[in-house]
Amino acid sequence: MTGFLGQALLYIVPFLLVLTFIVTIHELGHFLVARAFGVKIDRFSVGFGKTIVSRTDRRGTEWRIAWLPLGGYVKFSGDLDPSSVPDEAGLAELRQRVIAENGPGAERDYFHFKPIWQRALIVAAGPAANFLLAMVLFTLLFSAIGEQIVAPRVASAVPGSPAAEAGFQPRDLILAVNGRPVADGREVTQTVLMSAGDPVRFTVDRGGRQLILTATPERNLVDDQIAGRVRLAQVGLLMRPLAGDLSFRRLNPVEAFGKGIETIGSTVGTTATYIGRIFMGKESGDLLNGPIGIAKAAGGVTQQAVAANPDPGWMAANLALTFLSFAALVSIGIGIVNLLPIPVLDGGHLLFYGYEAVARRPVPARVQEVGYRVGLALLAGLMLFATWNDLQKLSLFKFLGGLA
């Protein structure tokens, strides 16, 4: 029982800490831009449910910490519609009520009566805050640990694998993949992961001679400490650097900032490519994670950080750096998801505002209602699919009856 509780704490606590921190920053993005535009705000909550502690500032905003640490929210005054985009009738009713309670002109302080461009910026500020957080975290990371480049040197090719059939040999150095120069082994791995079933051209240096080798990645079932049981695209290359294949350099804050931007761009591009391949039927969606998968990943990175060095000082430093990296990646993921054009998400609100800007009137109530329901169903379906993936990665169904 004690072991189970320990494992639960190892997985759940890091997950809740990371999730609450990232969602709070997301909501803080909405809050700060709304406050800059003079929007009246009722509440900023860290967590959900019953209030633990709260205070009200001089502008009438209640700041509270609630008992359920699953993120947080910001509530604008008059924000009663679940989609946050009331129609013309709803706006007229809200205007009358606000004027009756606070006098003429008071409605100008309410979110729904702000110009479209201000409302759009307020909504977009949430995902923007996630990307900004990732940028800051990556800048701190690269400033603290620098940049290590491990050249993609081939140690061996798994017998019978696509790499072996392509003719890879030990000590081959990969110079480019699909014509794009690569300097680090991680670039090779990333391209292979996104290329299941598609031929990949490798430019290889073999004893000073350049060769073009072509291999088609195949999906293999892999047990990963962080991701669980997943099918990953592989060509069967084992890479191990030689003495001269390792390089390291310290990065100043400007260089670290640039590297952080590059990492965010690469992560967003890879995510977009993966989602696109899912819609084209080239990927199964195994790498999509729900809350269980994120919790497992949080526990996995915690275990790795603790096991890396038993010294308490090194352990604390390694945990801090590991969680900074993990939080940055999760923050990018939350930013991307919130920009999806689904009505219950920020991207859906921006879609409605785009219509309002063109049509000169809000989206009709009936359309909003249908859009909200469809969006909620899509989001629920996505979460169910991701949770199904999580359970399969944990081998739960295999344990229960060999279904996986």
Active-site residue, 147 included: no
CB atoms closer than 10 angstroms to residue 141: 21
CB 49 within 8 A of CB 67: yes
Helix crossing, 116-145 with 312-338: angle to 10°? Answer: 150
The candidate with the shortest Cα–Cα distance to 233, out of 182, 162, 173, 298, is: 162
Report the C-alpha gap between 219 and 230 in whole angstroms: 9
Q: How many CA atoms within 13 Å lie on the side-chain side of 64?
A: 20
- Reduced to 3 states, what is the DSSP secondary structure of residue 42? strand
Among residues 86, 160, 100, which one has the least CA distance to residue 364?
86
Q: Which two tokens stand for residue 261?
A: 């931007």
**Distance, CA of 110 to CA of 99 (rounded, Å):** 11
For residue 124, what are the contacts with CB-CB under 8 A and spacing of at least 6? Answer: 346, 350
Angle of CA points 144, 148, 151, to nearest 5°: 170
Measured CA to CA, the distance from residue 351 to residue 347 in angstroms comes to 6
Give the torsion sign (CA, 235, 216, 391, 21). positive
Q: What is the DSSP string of 207-273?
A: TTEEEEEEE--EEEEEEETTTEEEEEEE--EEE---GGGEEEE---HHHHHHHHHHHHHHHHHHHHH
Name the catalytic one among 27, 107, 187, 283: 27
- Neighbour count for residue 3 (Cβ, 10 Å): 7
Distance CA 277, CA 297 (A): 23
Amino acid (1-letter code) at residue 366: R
User: Which residue bears the tokens 């497992």?
Assistant: 296
Q: Active-site positions?
A: 27
